[in-house]
C-alpha cells in the first residue's frame, strides 16, 4: 500500500486537497490546529462524495471506500508519520508559512516532499533557511482542486529536480494537470494571466465602454468556450490556415495597436468599484453569495464530468 | 411571417450567421460575389444541421425544415429585397467594406439594419459618408457563431439608438448573447481581453518560465472552467466572503505588484515564435490542422449542448 499523504491545514483549500488524494486511492491524514476544522473536512468529504459518484467522478470506488481513506490526525507529527507527500494549506501569511515549514521540515520523514498551496508567496521566501529546503516547493491549485485539475508546481532556486518530477508524477496520478514552472515568478502562471485579463476588464468598465455583464458575457458565452477546450495557444494555432505563426503574422498588428492603451491601471477599489458592486448586488444580493457559491460548485462538478466524457467520446 | 435576413458574404463567418438566423426560424437570403461560395454555405448547413439536431440544438425543427429557410440570391439587390436585417461578412479590408456598405445603403429597404461582422475595423471608418449611416453598426461574432453565442454590438457615433436596440433584440431572439458597447473602441471587448491575456502568455513563454502547454493547461484545465460558467467578474464576486469589493480589497495588491512587469511587449513573430511553433508542430503536424479544427467544432457543439442542459438543470 502506498504511503499516506499529509494535509496540513484543512480550510477550503486543504479539505479539497484531501478529497483529491483520497479519490486517487491514497490514504490521507488531515491535521489542523483547530480539530473541528479537520473534522469538518471529513464531513465535507462525506457530503461531496455521493455527488461525485453520481457524476461518475470516483472511478470504481464507492463513496464510503474513499471516505475510509481519510483520517484526522491528533498532532502535526502524527499526520506526518510515514507520509511521502505533505500538502500545506495554512493561512496566507509569511510568518505562518515560515513557522509551519520549520516544523514540517523538522518532523517529516527524510524522503517526504513539502508542498505549500500558497497563491501569493514565492517558495524561496519561506524555505531558504531550512536544512531540507531542497525538498520544498509550491503546489498551487485553483479552488476547488477536486473539481478543477490545473495546479502550479513552482520550485525555489534550491528545489531538487527529482522533487519537482516526483511531485508532477504524484499530481498526474491523482487526476491533476500540473503546470511545472522552470523557476519561481510572482503570480506564477495562472494569476498572471487572470490579472492581465482582469486589468483590461476593469479598464473597459471604468472607461464606460461596457458593463460588467457585457464583459462576463464576452468571456462566459465567448472566449472561455474555446479556451476551456484548447487553451489560448491551441486556439490561435487553429485560427489561421497556416497555424500559430500564420496567426501571429496576420493578426499581431491588431494587438500591437491595442497595447499602448493597456499601460494604465485602474484602482479596483476606486470609483469604478461603486459601479461594479452596485451592478453585482443588483444581480445577486449579498445574502445570496453562499448559495450562489454552491451553484457554482454544482456547475463545476457537472462540467468536470462533461469534460471527461467529451475527451473520451470526441477525443482530447 | 417575419421579414427575411440577408447574409452578404458567405465565407466561414457568413455561412455560420446564415445558420444562426435560419435555426432561429428566419428565412435567410445568402449572397456572395462567388456563387459557388453561397452554394457551399447551403451544403455546409446541410452537413451541420443533423449534428445540431442530434445535440438537441435545433429546438423542435427538423434539419430539412431549417435548411428550407435558406436560399441563395442571384444578386446583392435580390438578397436585400424586403430584408429587415443585413449581416455583411465580406473580406476584412477597409476599401471593400466602404464599397459594400455604399451598395447596401443604396439598395436595402429604408428600415433595414446594416450590420458588419468585422473584427478589426471601427464602424465609423466605413459608414461616415453614407446617407443611411444611422442604421449602420458592427455585429462581431466569435467564430463560429452557430456554436458560440457571444456577439459584440458596436455602434458608430452616429448609429441610431433604436437600431442598436433592435439589433440586440434580434440577436437575443436568435439565441445569441449580445454585448452592447456604449461606443466604439479598437479591439471591441473580446479582442481586447484576448489580447491582454495573450500578451502575458507570450511573455511567460519568451522569458522561459513556462511552456505553451503549461499556459494552455492553466487556462484549459484551470481558469477557463470558472470563466465559462461565470465570466471574470462573477468569478471574483464569489471568490471572497464579502463579494467583489472584498475581493478587490483583499487581493488587488497582488495584481498591482504584477502590473509593472506587464508593460513590455514581446514580438510574437520574433524568436519566441520559433519555440512556440516547434512545440505546436510537435503536438500537431501542420497537415493535421484541418482535422483538428473539425475536432474543435465537435467539442464546441457538444459543449454548447451541455451548457444549455446545465443551465436548465442546475440553473443559470
Nearest to B13 by CA among B119, B136, B126: B119
From residue B144, give the alpha-carbon distance in Å to each of A115, B155, B195. 42, 22, 19
Looking at residue B1, its pLDDT comes to 66
Residues A85 and A21 in one domain: yes
pLDDT tens for residues B23-82? 999 999 999 999 999 999 999 999 999 999 999 999 889 999 999 999 999 999 999 999
Residues A80 and A210 in one domain: no
Strand partners, B136: B114
Peptide linkage before B144 cis (omega within 30 of 0): yes
In a domain, B303, yes or no: no
Alpha carbon of A179: minimum distance to chain B alpha carbons (Å): 5
Choose the final residue of a domain: A129, A150, A180: A180
From residue A312, give the alpha-carbon distance in Å to each of A70, A98, A176, A216, B294. 30, 43, 17, 29, 16
* Share above pLDDT 90 across residues of chain A, in percent, rounded to a whole number: 98
Alpha carbon of B32: minimum distance to chain A alpha carbons (Å): 21
The CATH number of residue B144's host domain is 3.40.50.720
CB A17, CB A26: distance < 8 Å: no
d(C-alpha A12, C-alpha A29), whole Å: 16
Interface check for A278 against chain B (CB to CB < 8 A): the answer is no
Looking at residue A60, its pLDDT comes to 87
In a domain, B308, yes or no: no
Interface check for A240 against chain B (CB to CB < 8 A): the answer is no
Choose the final residue of a domain: B156, B180, B204: B180
A290 membership: H or E segment, kind and range: helix A289-313
3-state secondary structure of A138: strand
**Angle at CA of residue A235, ends B55 and A176, nearest 5°:** 80
From residue B17, give the alpha-carbon distance in Å to each of A5, B20, B145, B146. 53, 5, 6, 7
List the single residue in B222, B265, B277 with the smallest CB-CB distance to A190: B222
Q: Do B243 and A208 touch (CB under 8 A)?
A: no
Q: Is B243 left (phi over 0), alpha (psi -120 to 50) or beta?
A: left
Pairing of the two strands A5-8 and A28-31: parallel
Alpha carbon of B93: minimum distance to chain A alpha carbons (Å): 13
- pLDDT over 80 (residue A1): no
pLDDT tens for residues B103-148? 999 999 999 999 999 999 999 999 999 999 999 999 999 988 999 9
Looking at residue A104, its pLDDT comes to 98
Section B88-112 average pLDDT: 97
Q: Do B218 and A299 touch (CB under 8 A)?
A: no
pLDDT tens for residues A12-71? 999 999 999 999 999 999 999 999 999 999 999 999 999 999 999 998 899 999 999 999
Residues B50 and B86 in one domain: yes
Domain that holds residue A200: 190-283
Return the HEC string of A40-98: HHHHHHHHHHHHHHHCCCCCCCCHHHHHCCEEECCCHHHHHCCCCEEEECCCCCHHHHH
From residue A284, give the alpha-carbon distance in Å to each of A273, B29, B168, B243, B257. 16, 42, 24, 10, 30
For residue A11, the chain B residues in CB contact (below 8 A) are none
In a domain, B297, yes or no: no
**B290 Cβ neighbours under 8 A, 6+ residues apart:** none
Residue A294 has a CB neighbour count (10 Å cut-off) of 9
The CATH number of residue A229's host domain is 1.10.1040.10
3-state secondary structure of A151: strand
Residues B77 and B13 in one domain: yes
Choose the final residue of a domain: A125, A158, A180: A180
Residues A54 and A198 in one domain: no
Residues A157 and A225 in one domain: no
**Domains contained in chain A, number:** 2
Residue B278 has a CB neighbour count (10 Å cut-off) of 10
Residues A86 and A61 in one domain: yes
Compute the mean pLDDT over every residue in chain B, rounded to the nearest whole number.
96
Q: What pTM did the predictor assign?
A: 0.96
Residues A114 and A152 in one domain: yes
Residues B17 and B109 in one domain: yes
**Complex-level ipTM:** 0.96
Strand partners, A144: none
Pairing of the two strands B113-116 and A136-141: unpaired
Q: Which grid cell is B79?
A: 438578397
Residues B26 and B118 in one domain: yes
**Which of A155, A255, A277, A301 should one mutate to test binding to chain B, selecting the residue with the greatest count of B CBs within 10 A?**
A255
Interface check for A298 against chain B (CB to CB < 8 A): the answer is yes
B211 membership: H or E segment, kind and range: none
In a domain, A279, yes or no: yes
* Share above pLDDT 70 across residues of chain A, in percent, rounded to a whole number: 100
In a domain, B144, yes or no: yes
**B247 Cβ neighbours under 8 A, 6+ residues apart:** B236, B237, B239, B240
Interface check for B149 against chain A (CB to CB < 8 A): the answer is yes
Residues A161 and A17 in one domain: yes
Nearest to A181 by CA among B208, B273, B278: B208
Interface check for B239 against chain A (CB to CB < 8 A): the answer is yes
Buried b / exposed e along B110-129 (16+ C-beta atoms within 10 A): eebbbbbbbbbbbbbebbee
In a domain, A305, yes or no: no
| Secondary structure percentages of chain A, helix, strand, coil, to 5 | 55, 10, 30
Interface check for A161 against chain B (CB to CB < 8 A): the answer is no
Residues A203 and A238 in one domain: yes
Looking at residue A172, its pLDDT comes to 97
Burial of B313 (0-12, 13-18, 19+ CB in 10 A): exposed
In a domain, B72, yes or no: yes
In a domain, B87, yes or no: yes
Q: Which DSSP symbol is given to B142? A: P
Amino acid at each position: 500500500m502506498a504511503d499516506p499523504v499529509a494535509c496540513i491545514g484543512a480550510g477550503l483549500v486543504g479539505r479539497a486537497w484531501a478529497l483529491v488524494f483520497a479519490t486517487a486511492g491514497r490514504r490521507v491524514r488531515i491535521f489542523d490546529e483547530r480539530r473541528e476544522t479537520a473534522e469538518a473536512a471529513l464531513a465535507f468529504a462525506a457530503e461531496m462524495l455521493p455527488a461525485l459518484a453520481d457524476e461518475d467522478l470516483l472511478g470504481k470506488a464507492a463513496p464510503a471506500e474513499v471516505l475510509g481513506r481519510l483520517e484526522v490526525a491528533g498532532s502535526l507529527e502524527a499526520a506526518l508519520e510515514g507520509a511521502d507527500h505533505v500538502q500545506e494549506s495554512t493561512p496566507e501569511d509569511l510568518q505562518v508559512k515560515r513557522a509551519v515549514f520549520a516544523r514540517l521540515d523538522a518532523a517529516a520523514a527524510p524522503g517526504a516532499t513539502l508542498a505549500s498551496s500558497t497563491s501569493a508567496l514565492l517558495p524561496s521566501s519561506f524555505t531558504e533557511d531550512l536544512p531540507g529546503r531542497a525538498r520544498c516547493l509550491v503546489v498551487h491549485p485553483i479552488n476547488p482542486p477536486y473539481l478543477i485539475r490545473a495546479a502550479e508546481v513552482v520550485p525555489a532556486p534550491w528545489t531538487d529536480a527529482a522533487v519537482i518530477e516526483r511531485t508532477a508524477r504524484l499530481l498526474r496520478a491523482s487526476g491533476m494537470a500540473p503546470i511545472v514552472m522552470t523557476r519561481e515568478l510572482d503570480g506564477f502562471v495562472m494569476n498572471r494571466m487572470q490579472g492581465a485579463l482582469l486589468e483590461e476588464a476593469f479598464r473597459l468598465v471604468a472607461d464606460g465602454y461596457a458593463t460588467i455583464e457585457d464583459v462576463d458575457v464576452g468571456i462566459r458565452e465567448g472566449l472561455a468556450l474555446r479556451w476551456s477546450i484548447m487553451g489560448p495557444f491551441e486556439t490561435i494555432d487553429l485560427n489561421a490556415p497556416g497555424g500559430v505563426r500564420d496567426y501571429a503574422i496576420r493578426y499581431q498588428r491588431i494587438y500591437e495597436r491595442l497595447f499602448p492603451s493597456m499601460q494604465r491601471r485602474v484602482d479596483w477599489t476606486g470609483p469604478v468599484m461603486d459601479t461594479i458592486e452596485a451592478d453585482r448586488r443588483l444581480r445577486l444580493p449579498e445574502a445570496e453569495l453562499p448559495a450562489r457559491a454552491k451553484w457554482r460548485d454544482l456547475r463545476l462538478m457537472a462540467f468536470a464530468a462533461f469534460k471527461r466524457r467529451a475527451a473520451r467520446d470526441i477525443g482530447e
